[in-house]
Amino acid sequence: MTWPDTKASAAMRHRFAADLDPQHATEWAEVFAAVPRHVFVPRFYAQADDRSWRTVYWGDPGHLEAVYSDQALTTQLDEHGLPTSSSSEPALMLAMLNALDVRDGDTVFELGTGTGYNAALLSHRLGDHNVTSVDVDLALVEGAVQRLEQAGYRPFVTGADGARGYPARAPYARIIATAALRSVPTAFLDQAAPGGVIVAPIGNGVLRTTITAPGHATGRFLPTPAHFMPRRVPTVAPAFEAVRDREPTDTKVAPADVLDRLRFPLSIALPGHNSCSWRDQDGELTAVGLWSEDGSTATAHVSGAVRQIGPRRLWDVVEGLAAVFPGVPLREEFGVTVSPSRQVVWYGSPDGPAWELPRGDAT
């Protein structure tokens, strides 16, 4: 089956691209206007109020309108009905592509092929032969290659762990990741060209770093929030049953802060952590839960009662962040310094409050 570029889809695409860049501030708007997103999202999953999923296909009412809007679209679910792949929010894609600052002839490595849409945008701008895209999901790779060919693009796409890069086609002038990472992979540092730029989601933000020497980089976070699919790594369940029996302690930090003003710094201070919330029948927040892969679990009730279990006191980290940030910290106020031995995110300046990220080979 093919998905033709009709007058309706072409008109929507050009209007969509114009809305992404109303000030005509970037060359990428022309690329978004040229590459048909609907070819890469022939169907997606829409979630109903009862949290069930409905498949929306090409030709269904609302399909083109959703595809040519500034929203992320879920494109793959696992056996439990949990999203495992999506077509990212176009405005976020545009911000990351702008941050790459590509030049004619630049070679680009992409972690996370997904639907192939981002690889198509890169190919349109830089040429197929300059784009390398890797995804760990072989089914996604196969589908992306088919859609790329259908749209007229043939970048190098293969199935592999993108956090290891692809050394056979290195070095890369630019590296971009479209899956959430906990730190900058060591392979990115090794395979980036001198002065190369790396743009990658770290926590709930997007980091832009520049290679300053072999194994060294420095940079800052973009102001744009980012919520990407995590890399597929083993996870653990929260120990909510066990933590319920713990004696509570008191906190003055509002549980809602975990979901709002402290969300970004917490994603840096507790890389890879998970969170959830409980609400009453009126939708009001009653408690939040945090857990990490080492089994540490914490719950915080709006009454101020906190219960914790495991090798790390997760709510203590929250309270530490609340002391550092009495207000809402801006993402662009955070920077990073990368060396072969450690990666440190700092606030304000390199000698300000800082948090060490996991090793780059443990992302």
| Residue at token pair 């890069």 | 165
Residue 70, number of CB atoms within 10 A of its CB: 13
Residues in the chain: 363
Question: 297-329 in b/e burial notation, b at 16+ Cβ within 10 A?
Answer: bbbbbeeeebbbbbebbbbebbebbbeebeeeb
> How many Å apart are CA 45 and CA 181, to the nearest integer?
24
**Residue 180 DSSP one-character state:** B
Estimate to the nearest angstrom the gap between the alpha carbon of 294 and the chain centroid. Answer: 22
Cis preceding-peptide flag for 4 (omega within 30 of 0): no
H or E stretch including 79? none
Strand ranges (E), 203-243? 205-213, 216-221
84 three-state secondary structure: strand
**Residue 226 DSSP one-character state:** -
Reduce the secondary structure of 43-59 to three states and give it as a string.
EEEEECCCCCEEEEECC
Is 208:244 a contact under the CB 8 Å cutoff? no
> How many Å apart are CA 185 and CA 208, to the nearest integer?
13
State the pairing for strand pair 249-250/354-356: unpaired
> How many Å apart are CA 42 and CA 63, to the nearest integer?
8
Listing DSSP states for 97-130 in one string gives HHHH---TT--EEEE--TTSHHHHHHHHHH-GGG
> How many Å apart are CA 4 and CA 20, to the nearest integer?
23
> How many Å apart are CA 32 and CA 19, to the nearest integer?
11
Is 88 tagged catalytic? yes
Catalytic residue among 85, 87, 88, 183: 88
> How many Å apart are CA 278 and CA 289, to the nearest integer?
8
Which residues are marked as active site? 88
